[in-house]
Chain A
Amino acid sequence: MIKSELIQKISATNAHLYHRDVERIVNVIFGEIVDALARGDRVELRGFGAFRVKYRAPRIGRNPRTGASVSVDEKFVPFFKTGKELRERMNQGDAD
């Protein structure tokens, strides 16, 4: 499923909303999650999962092809941990 299909599904069950409003709703929800992570906050959605950022210290890396050392800056990487309910649902029923 891609974003446009998600928007379509939601529009289908919410006939009173304009398509562009549903688009905006979906974008606001995911925009809020990104904004929270950019502040260093966690996002916890019970049953679905939790997003957080982890810190990665600067390090000296190597170009695997040439062996030359390159310095890699510190960075923050987003992580998602699947919620219990979703994890269980993914492992129920037929695996097709």
Chain B
Amino acid sequence: MGSKTLTRADLAEALVDKVGLPRNESQELVELVLSEISNALADGEPVKLSSFGSFGIREKGERIGRNPKTGEEVPITPRRVLVFRPSNIMKDRINAGLAQHRKAAE
């Protein structure tokens, strides 16, 4: 199985290779895509990307937590959390890809 980590630079490189854009513009576009998504989420707006997945927002109420080290009870403030739901296409492609990897490794 793979063990590499992809970063923004790899995504930008893919735009250079596959779309033929200059490198600096590719970097800007990767950043722009991520920031548009972040802006929507920061505004409390869910983001759905067909064939990829959706980023939803869940509101969490206040609850009592514990400091695991001291056992002391501390309130956990209400907060918003992001939940990602992968599309079926993504799930299928991941399983198909990794099944292939396993066979190759055997």
Of B49, B80, B98, which contacts A95 at CB under 8 A?
A: B80
Whether B82 is near chain A, meaning CB under 8 Å from some CB there, is: yes
- Which A residues are CB-close (under 8 A) to B47? 1-2, 6
| Interchain CA distance A48-B98 in the complex, whole Å | 25
Interface residue ranges of B5-44 to A (CB < 8 Å)? 5-8, 10-11, 14-15, 18-19, 21, 29-30, 32-34, 36-38, 40-42, 44
Nearest B residue to A22 by beta-carbon distance?
A: B29
Chain B min CB distance to A27 (Å): 8
Residues of A within 8 A of B15 (CB): 25, 28-29
Name the B residues within 8 Å of A89 (CB-CB): 38, 41-42
Q: Which residues of B contact A42 (CB under 8 A)?
A: 4-6
Contact pick for A96, options B4, B44, B90, CB 8 Å: B44
Q: A37 contacts which chain B residues (CB < 8 A)?
A: 90, 94, 97
Q: Is A3 within 8 A of B81, CB to CB?
A: no
Q: Quote the shortest CB–CB distance from B95 to chain A (angstroms).
A: 6
- Do the beta carbons of B42 and A34 come within 8 Å of each other? no
Query: What per-residue 1/0 map shows which CB atoms of B58-91 lie under 8 Å from chain A?
Result: 0100000000000000000001111010100011
Count of A-B contacts with CB under 8 A?
159
Size category of the binding interface on chain B: 35 or more
Give residues 12-49 of A contacting B (CB, 8 Å).
13-14, 21, 24-26, 28-30, 32-49
User: B90 and A90: CB pair below 8 A?
Assistant: no
Other-chain contact of B33, A6, A34, A36, A96 (Cβ < 8 Å):
A6
Seen from chain A, the residues whose Cβ lies within 8 Å of a Cβ on chain B are 1-3, 6, 9-10, 13-14, 21, 24-26, 28-30, 32-49, 51, 53, 75-80, 82, 85-87, 89-92, 95-96
**Given A53-B94, A86-B38 in contact, is the A10-B82 Cβ separation under 8 Å?**
no
How far, in angstroms, from A33 to B93 measured CA to CA in the complex?
11
Q: Assuming A1-B40, A40-B2, A89-B38, is B19 touching A21 (CB within 8 A)?
A: yes
